[in-house]
């Protein structure tokens, strides 16, 4: 399991449209994409778009486990990722 990072969005971009400048998100590095997650919304961005993020800190293993469990449970329950709400 990869670690999650707490990051700040430093500039607006169409690629990360659900999030705006100043938002704090959690980011996880994947093989081809970076996953951004804020507890409700998820966006996969290309690694080249990481210039829109400012890493604040790496989450420790306990925090990572909690975030990963939350993320996976929402993914497994087929939550509809919406910019305003999450609906089953």
Map out the domains of the chain as residue ranges.
4-76
**Which pairs count as long-range contacts for 79-84, CB under 8 Å and 24+ apart, including other chains?**
81/41, 81/42, 82/40, 82/41, 83/17, 83/18, 83/41
Q: Residue 4: which of 24, 23, 22 has the closest Cα?
A: 24
Q: What is the pTM of this model?
A: 0.78
Instruction: Give average pLDDT by consecutive 10-residue segment, the chain, 88 residues.
Output: 87 84 93 90 87 93 92 75 50
DSSP reduced 3-state for 36? strand
CATH class of domain segment(s) 4-76: mainly beta
Q: How many CB atoms lie within 10 A of CB 37?
A: 21
The confidence score (pLDDT) of residue 88 equals 43
């Amino acid at each position: 399991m990869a670690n999650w990072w707490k990051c700040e969005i430093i500039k607006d971009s169409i690629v990360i449209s659900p999030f705006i400048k100043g938002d704090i998100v959690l980011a996880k590095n994947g093989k081809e994409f970076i996953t951004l997650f804020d507890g409700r919304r998820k966006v996969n961005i290309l690694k080249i778009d990481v210039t829109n993020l400012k890493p604040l800190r790496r989450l420790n293993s306990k925090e990572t486990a909690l975030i990963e469990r939350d993320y996976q449970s929402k993914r497994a329950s087929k939550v509809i990722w919406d910019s305003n709400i999450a609906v089953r």
